[in-house]
Structure 1
Amino acid sequence: MKSIENMTNVDKAKLLHKLFPNEIPGLLTFINDTCQIFKEQEQEISESWDHPVFTFAFWRHKSKSIEQAILQFGDRLASESELFSIHLFEGYRAFFSVDCTVKYAERKSKNPKFKQAVDLLFNFT
């Protein structure tokens, strides 16, 4: 196993999936719901967008890309760590997926160990 410093987002997501398989369906629902909210409230979100790094267009594109992966692979994302990690956490999609994962852990998950794992793997503050 790689050291945490040498793990990619794909590696981290795959590990998270393997350690907490019961959390993944809820996380996928949260990510999908976030994509839907982004699509349904696109105008309002674009008008108030103030992210210091990512443009609204970039974030919208990542949201659509993630939504498409969820539609394409469905329940397989919950059961297959490789599929989950590659299609949601590879490349620029990782920005959106990591953001959703951190928010899910903070706001929705009841599992303190999952929250700690997400903090260890994905929080950079």
Structure 2
Amino acid sequence: MKSLNLLNNVEKGKLLADLFPNELLKISEYIQAHYEMLSDNEDKIRKNWDTNIITVDMWYRLAEEVNRAIKQNGKKLLKSRCFAD
């Protein structure tokens, strides 16, 4: 098995899902709650964004993609491989 720092994002997601299969629903709910917080506070977050590593537009685009994937896949996400992808 590769060390954690050598895993790509899909491999890390699979590992997380394999280690905590009973927590996948809670993890997806947590992600959705954070998406709602981002949506509700978008103006404030945009105003205070100060990182150069990732733009606020990119962050919101990623958040929207993840939220859409959770809504589209629903319970299928509770399967390890689907969650990782």
TM-score with structure 1 setting the length = 0.62
Calculate the aligned-residue CA RMSD, in Å: 1.3
* CA deviation after TM superposition for structure 1 residue 7, in Å: 2.3
The higher-RCO structure (CA 8 Å, 6+ apart) is: 2
Q: What is the 5 A alignment of 1:1-125?
A: 2-4=1-3, 5-78=5-78, 80-86=79-85
Q: Give deviations 1:15-35, integer Å, cap 9, x for gaps.
A: 211111122111111111111
* Unpaired stretches in structure 1, ≥5 consecutive residues: 87-125
Q: Give deviations 1:59-101, integer Å, cap 9, x for gaps.
A: 01001000100110012112x1111111xxxxxxxxxxxxxxx
Task: Give the number of aligned pairs.
Answer: 84
Greater than 2 Å deviation, 4+ residue runs: none
Q: In 1, Cα distance between the equivalents of 2:35 and 2:47?
A: 17
Q: In 2, Cα distance between the equivalents of 1:53 and 1:66?
A: 19
Query: How many percent of aligned residue pairs carry the same amino acid?
Result: 30
* Unpaired stretches in structure 2, ≥5 consecutive residues: none
- Opposite residue 80 of structure 2, the aligned amino acid is S
TM-score with structure 2 setting the length = 0.88
